[in-house]
Amino acid sequence: MDKLAPIPNHVGIIMDGNRRWAKLKGLPYEQGHKEGINRVKDIINTAIDIGVNVLTLYAFSSENWMRPEPEVTTLMGLLKYYLKAELPNILQRGVVFRTIGNHDKLSSSINMLIKHAENLTARNKGMTLVLALSYGGRDEIIRTIKKLNNSGADLKNLTENEFEANLDTAGLPPVDLIIRTSGEVRLSNFLIWQAAYAELYFTKTYWPDFTIEEFNAAIKTYSQRERRFGAI
């Protein structure tokens, strides 16, 4: 990467295509999800190296609960594995670990692992890694409205700043770049408030094949765009 090129402060990634990657290779879908985990570590380390400050990964959407039960069980098992296996690397690299989403459906053991990782990395000074788990943008907005209403907030005079301060992403900068793999060209309920002025990068590459080189290419594309935020 050209160190002089503008680097997005906050990158979001919709990691899509694990199942189709496995099907294309004649492998069980579980292998696609397992291979996808290997890409996560590569991209996290690269994001740190080039100076990204926040990386948000769409790991499990609120709609993913509708998938077949065996697949959900597999995904939850891989999530447990990731939270345990990658914590040493996260600590070594000074990463702050954080999650967003409605975790009521997650098991108590997973929630304990999440809390442990968040507490252990809270004082780190490096990149913030955000996992979107059981997350949906619409659900986040509805939960935020209910939260504000229950707190007695003056909804008639509600400001954007006050609303943002109560989202799951409170304290995080707006997302600058969203990358989606697998050839789908939509946001699929990911950071729909936060992505109001995000640049979008779509690739036909399935997530298990998404290389460091292509991640850098997405960053380079971002650096070449002119962001006007509605102004001339």
The residue ranges of every structural domain in the chain are 15-198+206-222
**Number of residues in the chain:** 232
Instruction: Give which of 201, 205, 207, 193 is closest to 221, Cα–Cα.
Output: 201
- Mean of pLDDT values over 57-63: 96
pLDDT above 90: residue 2? no
Residue with tokens 């991640």: 215
Supply 1's token pair.
């990467």
Q: Kindly report the number of other CB atoms within 10 A of residue 179's CB atom.
A: 23
Q: Kindly report the number of other CB atoms within 10 A of residue 13's CB atom.
A: 26
Supply 68's token pair.
């077949």
Instruction: Give which of 140, 130, 166 is closest to 58, Cα–Cα.
Output: 130
pLDDT above 70: residue 3? no
Give the CA angle between residues 106, 10, 121 to the nearest 5°.
Answer: 55
Instruction: Tell me if residue 216 is catalytic.
Output: no
Q: Kindly report the number of other CB atoms within 10 A of residue 102's CB atom.
A: 16
pLDDT above 60: residue 116? yes
pLDDT above 90: residue 163? yes
Catalytic residue, chosen from 16, 18, 168, 176, is: 16
H-helix or E-strand spanning residue 209: none
Supply 117's token pair.
């990782």
Model confidence, pTM: 0.94
Q: What is the pLDDT of residue 111?
A: 97
Q: Tens digits of per-residue pLDDT, 72-102?
A: 999 999 999 999 999 999 999 999 999 999 9
For residues 152 and 78, the answer to whether their CB atoms sit within 8 Å is no
For residues 16 and 180, the answer to whether their CB atoms sit within 8 Å is yes
What is 15-198+206-222's CATH number?
Answer: 3.40.1180.10
* Spatial separation of the C-alpha atoms in residues 67 and 61, rounded to whole Å: 11
H-helix or E-strand spanning residue 170: none
Torsion of Cα atoms, 136 then 141 then 143 then 147, to 10°: 150
Phi, psi of 29 (to 5 degrees): -60, -30
Instruction: Tell me if residue 16 is catalytic.
Output: yes
Catalytic residue, chosen from 45, 64, 111, 166, is: 64
